[in-house]
Amino acid sequence: MIVCVAVVGHQNNPLYLQSFTEADDALKLHHVVHCSLDVIDERVNNPKRNAPALNETFLGLLYPTENYKVYGYLTNTKVKFIMVTTDLDVKDADARNFFRKFHAAYVDAVSNPFHVPGKKIASRSFGARVSTIVKSFGSGTTA
């Protein structure tokens, strides 16, 4: 199950952070997302030598904590997508697929002429769409 998704701007400012848990662990997830930025920075600054392509957006597993796995994705405009999941074995393909959909939703949201770039995404339809993607991710892995 995905417990949290986040969009972080190119100045590492949070643009969108939504948790999908009932528990009151928002602070914890904020921290997890915030910390994963360190890993993204590291990945970006020290790319693997055998990196397949320069414009690979999917960053893969960022870091495993005892309860969560954190996946990252970096757009060409240095906007980061972060997904925190409790699933212990996530297929890379699933994660990629998730991020692709998430990216599309984000692009639609920021294409809104009333959206101010660099400000938090307040669109309700974006939120609804993200929830749908998150739900489908859960069902996709079990099916």
Partner 1 sequence: MDPLRSYLGRLLLEEITPVVMVLTTPLAEAACRKSGLSVVDMLSPFSLFKKIDGDSPPRCSPLPIICPCGRRVTSPYRLQMFKIRMVYASDVRKQDYEVADQRIKPVVSEANESALPDLLSDPPQLEDVLSKPEAELCPLWIKKFNRALMRTLSFSEHETFDHPVACLLVVSSKDNEPISKFVDLFNTNQLPSLLNEGIMDPQILKHYLILHDQQDGPQEIAMNILAEMKSTLGLNDCKLLCINSSTEADGADAENSWLPYIKDFMQDLASNHIIPYMEQKIRVLNQQVATTRKGFRNQIKNLWYTFTSIESQIRVLGDYAFMLRDYELALSNYRLLSTDYKLDKAWKRFAGVQEMSGLCYFMLDQSRKDAEYCMDSAFSTYLRIGSSGKRNATRCGIWWAEMLKTRGQYREASSVYYRVSNEEPSLHSAVLLEQAACCYVLSKPPMLRKYGFHLVLAGNSYYISDQKQHAVRAYRNALFVYKQHPWSYINDHVHFNVGRWYGVLGIFDVAIKHLLEVIACSHQSLTTQSMFLNDFFHFVQSMGKKFDVYKLQLPVINMPSLRVIYEDHRTYASDADVNVSESIWQELEEEMIPSSSIVRTNWLEKSPDLRKYKDSCVCVVGEAVKVRIELRNPLQIPVAVSCISLICQLSTSLDASSAVNSVLTTGAGEDIANTKPAISIFEDDGNNFTVSKLDIVLGGSETKSVQLEVTPKVEGILKLHGIRWTLSDLLVGYQYFEFDTKRKTKKGKKGPRRTLSNTLIVIKGLPKLTGCIDHLPTNAFAGDLRLLKLNLRNQSEYAVKNIKMKLSHPRFVIPGDLSEVDFEFPQCLRKHVQSEISTVSTKRTQGDAKGLLFTFSQDIKIQEGATFSWPIWFHAATPGNFSLYISLYYEMESPSEITYRTLRMHYNIEVFSSLNVSFAIRMCSSRLKEYIVRMDILNRTPSESFILHQLSCNDSKWAISSLPLCDSIRSIETVSANQSVSCFFKIKDLGTNSCKEAENSSCRSDMLFLSREGNSNTEEFDVSQSPITNFHYQERYQQGRLAKGPRDLLDFILISKAVGGNYSKSDPDVQLLSHHVCHCSAIDQSPIWWFMEGPRTVTHDFSKSYCEANIQLVIHNSVQHNISARVVTYDSVPDKSQTVNLQDSNSNQGGWYDVSLENDIKAISTAKGTHYQKQPSESISPFVWCSLSSAQVDLKPDTSTKVPLKVCIFMPGTYNLSNYQLQWKVHSSEVGQVDENQRSGGGQGHPFYVTVLQDA
Q: Does residue 26 belong to the site contacting partner 1 (CB under 8 A)?
A: yes
Query: DSSP labels for 30-71?
Result: HHHHHHHHHHHHHHHHS--TT-S-TT--EEEEEEE-SS-EEE
Q: Does residue 142 belong to the site contacting partner 1 (CB under 8 A)?
A: no
Q: Which stretch binds partner 1 (CB under 8 A): 23-31, 92-100, 107-115, 128-136?
A: 23-31
Rounded-to-integer distance, Cα 120 and Cα 16, Å? 6
Contact yes or no for 15/93 (Cβ under 8 A): no
**Cβ at position 41, least distance to partner 1 in Å:** 8
Which 87-126 residues touch partner 1, going by CB under 8 A? none
**Closest CB to partner 1 among residues 10, 100:** 10
Q: Which of 22, 45, 52, 53 binds partner 1 (CB under 8 A)?
A: 45
Rounded-to-integer distance, Cα 80 and Cα 95, Å? 14
Q: Does residue 12 belong to the site contacting partner 1 (CB under 8 A)?
A: yes
DSSP H helical ranges for the chain: 26-45, 92-110, 124-142
Q: Interface residues with partner 1 (CB under 8 A)?
A: 11-14, 17, 26-27, 30-31, 34-35, 37-38, 41-42, 45, 66
